[in-house]
Amino acid sequence: MIDELINFLKTDNIFLTGGAGVGKSYTVSKIIKHYRDENLGVVSLGSTGISAVNIGGLTLHSFFGFGICKNKNELSEYDKGSKAKEKLKNLKNILDKTELIIIDEISMVSADLFEMIYLRLVNLAYKGRVLVVGDFYQLPPIIKEQNLDLFQRSIYAFGSYAWEMMKFKNIELIKPKRTKNLEFFKVLSKIRVGKISIEDARYLYGFTEVNFTPSSDETVLFGRNKEANELNAFMLEKLHSPLLKHSGKTIINDNLVHKDRIDKWLNNLNVATTFEFKIGVKVIFTINKYKNIIDDSEFYNGEQGVIKDIFLNDGEISEILVEKNNGELVEVKPNNYDFGEYINENDELKYNIIASFFQFPLRLAYAITIHKSQGMSIERLTCDLTHIFAEGQLYVALSRAIEPNNLKIVYKKSENFNSYLNRVIKSHKDVDEFYKKTDFLKYE
């Protein structure tokens, strides 16, 4: 299937979609690897800071140099100014060496923003392909002023004139990779599109608990940071071993870069600036790592284990020994997170690293927010629904679960469970219409 997509990208732009846990991120990572192995220029972009970090690239605003422009008319005016000339020249040099632009979390890109992207690509005569990835049923665009242009049919990217002009080949991944339980996957799929039956609600109610006491062998998903931080601190305090700390190390290669940009980037990383832990504490891995010739340790984003030991080098913690839930011991080293920009160097597309941050890719695993759980697969999951009410949040939360037999739902609201579900499980009519009328090539 990956080979087919790579073949399509020789002639077509692609929209890659599918529900949670069907392998979108894995597919994209394989496509990026292919382009890099073949020395073809590939640019990875995220619609938000977090999605940019997850895909290992930049934000759309940063790459395309949109500044504070909110639509294509403002951008056209901005581009006439002297400030924009040098930026556009640099961007043109980069685009000339780019074969593929990947845009992740396309659902959060508004129609206006997509028009701006298209304007940039047309004006700078981009000749490569565009791969947009995401699920419009999940996170919607953040719109401050809903001013629909004459040609726009929706606030979503697919409602723009630009989407029509890009002539995407539409690909949908349909096979669950996270869970093997098909009944659970079917119910999740109905939640995704905002349509659940009384039987589905009854099925979900079977997971609920009112009198819930957190235990050390599960991860509780919260809607807010406050509750997640409090539970992690409480569980850490219960351990009698000494408190250990590892402060992440930041190396800045470009002293002209604003500190605010670095701080904003660090804030989007799914690791703590200072990691506080104890021997015996339960941790969750926050990245995927595969075996290689030098290092045979392997773990996935959301996998868990217990810290067994630490190794020191010149008085600093250099490695952490973690026993994963499957009994395998792995020696975890600090991960290297890079922040940079794309440049055209000697007629080659390069990623110029502005700053690097070194920290263990671990968090305390007793609690995590929905926000930080994106992309994770969690074995023993408990969802606290107290502060889960935004569109798509319940679906994102429940779809982290690998095994429904290990799933619990904490429901403490006075509102009837069924009426709560009817209120939070809904889809946007524009999204329904778009998926209904679009022809998809479906892949497992």
In a domain, 134, yes or no: yes
Q: Are residues 354 and 263 in the same domain?
A: yes
Q: Are residues 284 and 160 in the same domain?
A: no
Q: Are residues 25 and 169 in the same domain?
A: yes
Q: Are residues 251 and 360 in the same domain?
A: yes
297 has pLDDT over 90: no
360 has pLDDT over 90: yes
In a domain, 307, yes or no: yes
* Residue 68's CATH number: 3.40.50.300
| Alpha carbon distance 403, 183 (integer Å) | 11
What is the pLDDT confidence band of residue 289, given thresholds at 50, 70 and 90? confident
In a domain, 330, yes or no: yes
In a domain, 85, yes or no: yes
In a domain, 403, yes or no: no
Final residue of a structural domain among 327, 347, 364: 364
147 has pLDDT over 60: no
Residue 93's nearest CA partner among 322, 310, 341, 404 is 341
Query: Per mean pLDDT, which range of 158-162, 343-347, 382-386 is the poorest?
Result: 343-347
Question: How would you write 111-180 as a 3-class SS string?
Answer: HHHHHHHHHHHHHCCCCCEEEEECCCCCCCCCCCCCCCCCCCCCCEHHHCHHHHHHCCEEEEECCCCCCC
pLDDT of amino acid 190: 96
Q: Are residues 163 and 246 in the same domain?
A: no
Which residue blocks in 11-129 are alpha helix, DSSP H?
24-37, 49-55, 60-64, 72-79, 82-96, 111-123
* Residue at 333: amino acid letter: K
How many Å is the maximal CA-CA distance in the chain?
65
pLDDT of amino acid 172: 98
Residue with tokens 């665009």: 141
Residue 219's nearest CA partner among 207, 241, 206, 235 is 235
Final residue of a structural domain among 338, 364, 390: 364
Residue range 166-219, pLDDT digits in tens: 999 999 999 999 999 999 999 999 999 999 999 999 999 999 988 888 888 899
Computed over every residue of the chain, the mean pLDDT equals 92
Q: What is the average per-residue pLDDT within 328-336?
A: 95
144 has pLDDT over 70: no
Domain containing 107 equals 2-173
Structure tokens at 374: 């994106």
Count: domains in the chain:
2
Gyration radius from the chain CA atoms: 23
Residue 330 backbone phi and psi in degrees, to 5: -130, 140
Q: Are residues 158 and 30 in the same domain?
A: yes
Q: Are residues 299 and 154 in the same domain?
A: no
DSSP string covering 303-315: -EEEEEEEEEETT
Classify each residue of 221-258 as buried b or exposed e, where b means 16 or more C-beta atoms within 10 Å of its C-beta. bbbeeebbeebbeebbeebeeeeeebebebeeeeeebe
In a domain, 339, yes or no: yes
Q: What is the average per-residue pLDDT within 343-372?
A: 93
In a domain, 126, yes or no: yes
pLDDT of amino acid 322: 97
Q: Are residues 252 and 352 in the same domain?
A: yes
361 has pLDDT over 90: yes
Final residue of a structural domain among 364, 393, 417: 364
Q: Are residues 34 and 162 in the same domain?
A: yes
Q: Are residues 285 and 144 in the same domain?
A: no
Distances (CA, A) of 141 to 107, 114, 137, 202, 291: 6, 11, 11, 31, 37
Q: Number of H helices and number of E strands within the chain?
A: 16, 22
Q: Yes or no: say if 5 and 171 are a contact pair by the CB < 8 Å rule.
A: yes
Q: What is the average per-residue pLDDT within 229-253?
A: 96
| Alpha carbon distance 95, 349 (integer Å) | 9
Q: Are residues 14 and 154 in the same domain?
A: yes
What is the pLDDT confidence band of residue 146, given thresholds at 50, 70 and 90? low
In a domain, 441, yes or no: no
* Residue at 72: amino acid letter: K
Residue with tokens 């994209």: 28
What is the pLDDT confidence band of residue 124, given thresholds at 50, 70 and 90? very high
| Alpha carbon distance 97, 109 (integer Å) | 25
Q: Are residues 163 and 235 in the same domain?
A: no
Give the containing element (helix H, strand E) for 383. Answer: strand 381-384
**Cα–chain-centroid distance for residue 427?**
21
pTM score: 0.89
